């Protein structure tokens, strides 16, 4: 069993995270329950911060809030000195409600609506990451209406696409995001931005993929982005002060995943920037990055209660949990793999291979196809690891299943940071036209 962060097996053979016994958390908060190891989140952030500090460069580490955007997480990100990347009015609203300093918010997205842009302008956010020509004009016009000058980065597609283990350095043109570097579109975007009086161009942004385990793709992207900055200076006399390399740093989900220490990515990125800039006598820019998964991913554990099972001799044994694709759509969407243990009998020896099914009405609602477990009984608790990123964030109400609660655990204390949805939440936005109305059936 791979125990990470503050996850331990206690004297009762129960799994414990942040000093909290998971069987007690299940009793107190119910299941399914997302449990976030606050200490591990803070540690991950500090790893990024410390690695950057040791390079001596100016930097911002912006938490890609799409991975897990709730107000308590925004608070934590601020406390740890991060900036924040948002991609919608909902994420922006969450950050602002949490009191996150607007000046440290960066707004991404390939189709920001006028309403979203106005909301961000009114909040006075720090930077817009502009994705396309339509947005450039729109943002300039809306900023002009408000008599404002706004900081922008241009998102470029550098022609480097990173899969977990491989890089394709040409095939990336076909993307909905950003200005293409290879065909000259990015250069035209810079020219155009410089002519727009209400936009202040700080530099460029690139994001090459997610769940990346190697530094090579980042190095390639840095070289392309920094060379572009040099070209812009040489041809247009404009010197970028910020290069943003996006997120994508991989984490461990299952055995065989081999994430690099965060410092290795940071070192590779900064070394490549320094080398490219020095050669061209280019003043060192500020480096920004946007980790999401690597900040919260392995700090999250989902706790389920095991209910029914179905044994098909010679074929497979299914065990069903009280959640599934509604709280973790990643296996169904991407074929993602997870590890799990029985939280109430963590020392028991594995005796059978089971398949963990969710409770949604869909055959594809499977969380783990092959999992070694002790003989499972109804009422056992299953803890699925590394569910901190893109789980709660992508959860749904399919089958009108209520989204689980989220707790932060630390030093033996569990704080509820998202309440479990209630039945009234489920029907909260429903309206029955007058002609169809009837008294509710009381429960």
Q: Kindly write out the interface string for residues 65-84 of this chain, putting x where it contacts ligand LLP by CB under 6 A and - elsewhere.
A: --x-----------------
Cis-peptide into 142, omega within 30 deg: no
Instruction: Report d(CA 267, CA 344) in Å as an integer.
Output: 41
Q: Using alpha carbons, list the distances in angstroms from residue 164 to 17, 158, 170, 257, 260.
A: 29, 17, 17, 10, 12
Q: What is the residue-wise DSSP string for 157-196?
A: E-S-EE-SS-EESSTTSS-SSSEESTTSHHHHHHHHHHH-
Among the listed residues 358, 387, 441, 435, the one whose alpha carbon sits nearest the alpha carbon of residue 254: 387
* DSSP-assigned letter for residue 84: E
By CB under 6 A, is residue 106 in contact with ligand LLP? no
Q: Which stretch binds ligand LLP (CB under 6 A): 37-45, 243-251, 320-328, 397-405?
A: 243-251
Burial of 315 (0-12, 13-18, 19+ CB in 10 A): exposed
Contact present, 353 and 311 (Cβ < 8 Å): no
Q: Which two tokens stand for residue 98?
A: 């949490």
Cα maximum dimension of the chain: 76
For the CB of residue 248, give the shortest distance to ligand LLP in the complex, in Å: 4
Q: Kindly write out the interface string for residues 368-407 of this chain, putting x where it contacts ligand LLP by CB under 6 A and - elsewhere.
A: ---------------------xx-----------------
18-37 positions binding ligand LLP, by CB under 6 A: none
Asked if 74 is an active-site residue, the reply is no
Instruction: Report d(CA 324, CA 365) in Å as an integer.
Output: 6
Which residue lies nearer to ligand LLP by CB, 251 or 381? 251
For the CB of residue 207, give the shortest distance to ligand LLP in the complex, in Å: 4
For the CB of residue 345, give the shortest distance to ligand LLP in the complex, in Å: 30
Which residue lies nearer to ligand LLP by CB, 277 or 295? 295
348-367 positions binding ligand LLP, by CB under 6 A: none
Instruction: Compute how many other C-beta atoms are within 10 angstroms of the C-beta atom of residue 181.
Output: 25
Among the listed residues 70, 59, 178, the one whose alpha carbon sits nearest the alpha carbon of residue 130: 178
Q: Which stretch binds ligand LLP (CB under 6 A): 27-35, 245-253, 263-271, 275-283?
A: 245-253
Which residue lies nearer to ligand LLP by CB, 108 or 219? 108
Q: Kindly write out the interface string for residues 307-346 of this chain, putting x where it contacts ligand LLP by CB under 6 A and - elsewhere.
A: -----------------------x----------------
Which residue lies nearer to ligand LLP by CB, 199 or 389? 389
Q: Determine which one of 69, 127, 277, 361 is catalytic.
A: 361
Count of residues touching ligand LLP (by CB under 6 A): 18
Q: What is the residue-wise DSSP string for 346-405?
A: TTSPP-EEEEEE-SSSSTT-EEEEEEEESPP-TT-EEEEES-SSSSGGG---GGGPPPPE
Which residue lies nearer to ligand LLP by CB, 328 or 355? 328
Say how many Å lie between the first and final Cα of the chain, rounded.
43
273-312 positions binding ligand LLP, by CB under 6 A: 290-294
194-223 positions binding ligand LLP, by CB under 6 A: 207, 210
Which residue lies nearer to ligand LLP by CB, 285 or 331? 331
Site residues (vs ligand LLP, CB under 6 A): 64, 67, 85, 108, 207, 210, 246-249, 290-294, 330, 389-390
Q: Which residues are catalytic?
A: 361
């Amino acid at each position: 069993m791979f125990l990470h962060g503050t996850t331990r097996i206690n004297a009762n053979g129960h799994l414990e995270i942040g000093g909290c016994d998971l069987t007690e958390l299940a009793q107190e908060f119910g299941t399914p329950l997302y449990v976030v190891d606050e200490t591990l989140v803070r540690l991950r952030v500090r790893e990024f911060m410390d690695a950057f500090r040791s390079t001596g460069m100016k930097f911002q580490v912006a938490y890609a809030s799409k991975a897990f955007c709730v107000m308590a997480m925004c608070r934590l990100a601020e406390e740890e000195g991060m900036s924040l990347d948002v991609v919608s009015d909902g994420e922006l609203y969450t950050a602002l409600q949490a009191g996150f300093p607007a000046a440290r918010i960066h707004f991404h997205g390939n189709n920001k609506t006028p309403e979203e842009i106005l909301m961000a302008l009114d909040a006075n956010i720090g930077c817009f990451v502009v994705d396309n020509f339509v947005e450039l004009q729109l943002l300039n016009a809306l900023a002009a209406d408000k008599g404002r000058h706004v900081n922008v980065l241009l998102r470029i597609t550098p022609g480097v696409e990173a899969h977990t283990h491989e890089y394709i350095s040409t095939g990336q043109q076909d993307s909905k995001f950003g200005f293409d570097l290879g065909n000259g579109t990015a250069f035209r975007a810079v020219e155009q931005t410089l002519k727009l009086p209400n936009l202040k161009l700080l530099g460029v942004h690139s994001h090459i993929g997610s769940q990346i385990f190697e530094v090579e793709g980042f190095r390639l992207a840095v070289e392309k982005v920094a060379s572009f900055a040099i070209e812009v200076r040489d041809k247009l006399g404009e010197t970028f002060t910020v290069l943003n390399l996006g997120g994508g740093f991989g984490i461990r989900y299952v055995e065989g995943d081999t994430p690099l220490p965060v410092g290795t990515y940071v070192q590779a990125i900064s070394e490549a920037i320094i080398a490219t800039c020095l050669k061209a006598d280019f003043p060192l820019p500020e480096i920004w990055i946007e980790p999401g998964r690597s900040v919260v991913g392995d700090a999250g554990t989902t706790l389920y209660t095991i209910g029914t099972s179905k044994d098909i001799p010679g074929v497979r044994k299914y065990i069903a949990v009280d959640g599934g694709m509604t709280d973790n759509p990643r296996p169904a969407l991407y074929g993602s793999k997870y590890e799990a243990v029985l939280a109430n009998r963590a020392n028991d020896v594995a005796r059978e291979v089971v398949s963990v099914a969710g409770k949604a009405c869909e055959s594809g609602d499977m969380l783990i196809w092959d999992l070694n477990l002790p003989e499972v009984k109804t009422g056992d608790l299953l803890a699925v690891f590394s569910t901190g990123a893109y789980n709660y964030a992508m959860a749904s109400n399919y089958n009108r299943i209520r989204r689980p609660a989220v707790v932060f655990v630390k030093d033996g204390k569990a704080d509820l940071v998202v309440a479990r949805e209630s039945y009234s939440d489920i029907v909260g936005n429903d309206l029955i036209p007058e002609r169809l109305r009837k008294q509710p059936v009381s429960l």
